[in-house]
């Protein structure tokens, strides 16, 4: 799933109940995170639901620098879907690009800012900050 496809799919759905169902379906498409990777180290702080994120760094081609690949999971269906949305924005991107992306603009364009509870919005921000932190760490090594 990439960001362009995600935006197109959102535009096809008229009401937010349909969009929530779509987000839940996106979450079902995520590969489950193995239990051994659900640790305190991979847990995302600031989320009401349990959320785990892992990252793997590869070397980019054409001088892109480190490229990050993410895996994640949650104990809540809607949050798994939000992880999929975040991955559409960041997964497989060079660390420098990750730090340049302004997620608020994307989330606003999708309507997420207006349709998520404050707790879910905070959790989404925590996931993004974790990804950005991993990108900074990849650039530092």
Question: What residues contact 60, with CB distance under 8 A and at least 6 apart?
Answer: 66, 67, 94
What are the sequence ranges of the domains in the chain? 3-140
What is the rounded distance in angstroms from the CA atom of residue 137 to the CA atom of residue 97? Answer: 14
Please say whether the beta carbons of 79 and 47 come within 8 A.
yes
Strand duo 51-59 + 93-94: pairing: unpaired
Among candidate residues 47, 68, 128, 131, the one labeled active-site is 47
Class of domain 3-140: alpha beta
The contacts of residue 92 (CB under 8 Å, 6+ apart) are 67, 68, 69
pLDDT per residue rounded down to tens, the chain (141 residues): 788 888 899 889 888 999 999 999 999 999 999 999 999 999 999 888 999 999 999 987 777 899 999 999 999 999 999 999 999 999 999 999 999 999 988 888 888 888 888 888 999 999 999 999 999 999 998
pTM of the predicted model as reported, rounded to 2 decimal places = 0.92
CB 132 within 8 A of CB 53: no
**Max Cα-Cα span within the chain:** 45
Which pair of structure tokens corresponds to residue 137? 């760490």
User: What is the model's pLDDT at position 96?
Assistant: 95
Query: Locate tokens 């590969």: which residue?
Result: 31
Is 47 one of the annotated active-site residues of the chain?
yes
């Amino acid at each position: 799933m990439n960001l362009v496809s995600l935006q197109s799919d959102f535009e096809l759905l008229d009401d937010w109940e349909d969009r929530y169902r779509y987000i839940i379906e996106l979450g079902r498409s995520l590969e489950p995170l193995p239990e051994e990777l659900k640790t305190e180290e991979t847990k995302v702080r600031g989320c009401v639901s349990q959320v785990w994120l892992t990252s793997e760094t590869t070397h980019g081609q054409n001088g892109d620098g480190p490229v990050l690949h993410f895996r994640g999971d949650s104990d809540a269906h809607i949050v798994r879907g939000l992880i999929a949305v975040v991955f559409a924005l960041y997964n497989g991107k060079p660390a420098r690009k990750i730090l340049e992306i302004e997620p608020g603009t994307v989330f606003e364009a999708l309507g997420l800012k207006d349709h998520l509870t404050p707790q879910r919005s905070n959790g989404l921000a925590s996931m993004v900050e974790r990804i950005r932190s991993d990108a900074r760490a990849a650039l530092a090594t």
